[in-house]
Structure 1
Amino acid sequence: MSSPSTPARGRPARLDRTRTLRTALDLLDRSGLDALTMRRLADAMGVQAGALYRYFATKQDLLTAMAERMMEGAAEAAVTASAATADGGDWSERLTALARAARSALLTHRDGARVFAGTHATGESVLGFADALVGVLREAGFSDDAAARALYTVVNYTVGHTLEEQAALQAQDESTEDAGALRDAVTAGTYPHLSATLPTLTSTDFTGLFEFGLDLIVEGLRARQAPSAAAPAE
């Protein structure tokens, strides 16, 4: 006799939320976001599409849960950042570590940034990450308002950059002609400034590009940092 947690021989594994999310992420990696439908997910799990709605009322609910699962890695970095705060580590190093962790989490899955950008996840992973980032700045002396605005700035920059990065990588995989489209357009026209910077504009060093923008954000925040926090009192 089968136990409640073990399917009878010849029957599909019992449907549950964890298995559904794992299968959805596998489908995302294989086929991309546009091809991920509730029907294809149900087929991959060997169930009727209606059975999925027991756990996810809509596809948007599924995508939100997927975004939350993706951010688990970034949430782990948030724990490390919180520990560093207690040890008195530099706020900018902790903030950049969190941004890098978020980018890495989104890059772990195909179209990860697209999935995350279309959701408003409020699970423990996402909120834990956000709380850690805001905490880094508040501990550094930034006002509550500035810390909250900085959170949006860092997250929006990270998601936007990763969105473009994944789109560029996918275009390269699908067509070698697309990779030179910008170069061809610039050289065919009269764009002296773009021509001079073309090597950087067409660079595939996405990490270098990300780090440059992240440095700009950090330096901008540092310039606005409260004087009392920026330098010790005499």
Structure 2
Amino acid sequence: MSAPSTPPPSDAPRPPARGRPPRLDQARTVEAALALLDEAGLDALTMRRLADAVGVQAGALYRHFATKQDLLTAMAERMLAGCSTRPPDSAWSARLTTLARGMRTALLAHRDGARVYAGTHSTGANTLGFAETLLGVLREAGFGPAQAARTALAVIHYTVGHTLEEQAALQPGDQGPADPDRLREAVAEARHPHLAEALPVFTDTDFTAQFEFGLDLLLQGLRALSRPGPESAA
């Protein structure tokens, strides 16, 4: 007569019920993906490498993320956490500036953050909250619904595009055509007098100053478009 089997201890992991996949925490997976992004960059972030980091088979990830693009969208959504907070009451232009700066800071917080964000279309709370706050500032400034939407896109596209270039320039190693030394060597004063004169600016690595200058240009145009109102002249 065989001895009765010993039941497993109460704290031992239980096998999943037949037909059910093992539990995978989506939020923890996104955090692990962001950690890998910071460590190795976007090009090295693969589903297999992420699966190893969270201790599952690569196929398990596809139960939460049907494609890698879905994963990038979830990562972009996570990066915007905290960006939807309404700026302190002030002139609309100051609040718009605060939101644009906050988005740039959020993207810069992660290696290749702007590359991850570009092309994603999240409908998560962070992304929608940021858009709602941005549109609210513009509507209060006197912009109509369509004008506010186009303006919001212009601000977001400028911020993402600038940050893409900024992060590319900060990558270690050969920078290609954007490398300052390469640019200096390529520009011949006799053939490119205007470029030669502008080299100090083109090779400047004060990206914050460059961002602020471009944002101010954008705001100058927006002030001209806004309808008369208590804040439109700010």
Could you state the TM-score of these two structures normalised by the residue count of structure 1?
0.85
Counterpart residue identity of residue 40, structure 2:
S
1:47 aligns with 2:53: no
Give 1:43 shift.
Answer: 1.5
Q: CA 1:176 to 1:134, structure 2 compared with 1: closer, same or farther past 3 Å?
A: closer
1:24 aligns with 2:33: yes
Counterpart residue identity of residue 92, structure 2:
W
Q: Equivalent residues in 2 for 1:1-234 (5 A)?
A: 1-2=10-11, 15-75=24-84, 79-81=85-87, 84=88, 87=89, 89-170=90-171, 173-175=172-174, 178-187=179-188, 190-229=191-230, 230=232
Give the SS at the match of 2:170: helix
CA RMSD of aligned residues (A): 2.1
Instruction: Count the aligned residue pairs.
Output: 214
Q: CA 1:198 to 1:181, structure 2 compared with 1: closer, same or farther past 3 Å?
A: same
Q: Distance in 2 between matches of 1:3 and 1:95?
A: 53
Q: CA 1:225 to 1:181, structure 2 compared with 1: closer, same or farther past 3 Å?
A: same
Whether the 8 Å contact between 2:83 and 2:99 is mirrored in structure 1 is: yes
Q: CA 1:48 to 1:198, structure 2 compared with 1: closer, same or farther past 3 Å?
A: same
Whether the 8 Å contact between 2:141 and 2:229 is mirrored in structure 1 is: no
Identical-residue share of aligned pairs (%): 63
Give 1:15 shift.
Answer: 3.0
Deviations 1:80-132 (A, max 9, x none): 32xx3xx4x20000000000000000000011000100211111101101111
Give 1:216 shift.
Answer: 0.5
Counterpart residue identity of residue 66, structure 1:
M
Q: Which runs of 5+ in 1 are unaligned?
A: 6-12
Whether the 8 Å contact between 2:169 and 2:175 is mirrored in structure 1 is: no
Counterpart residue identity of residue 224, structure 1:
L
- Larger mean CA deviation between 45-54 and 131-140 belongs to 45-54
Q: Distance in 2 between matches of 1:176 and 1:142?
A: 41
Counterpart residue identity of residue 82, structure 2:
G
Could you say which structure has the larger radius of gyration?
2
Q: Which runs of 5+ in 2 are unaligned?
A: 1-9, 15-21
Deviations 1:49-83 (A, max 9, x none): 011112111111111000000011322xxx232xx
Deviations 1:21-46 (A, max 9, x none): 11100111111111111011111222
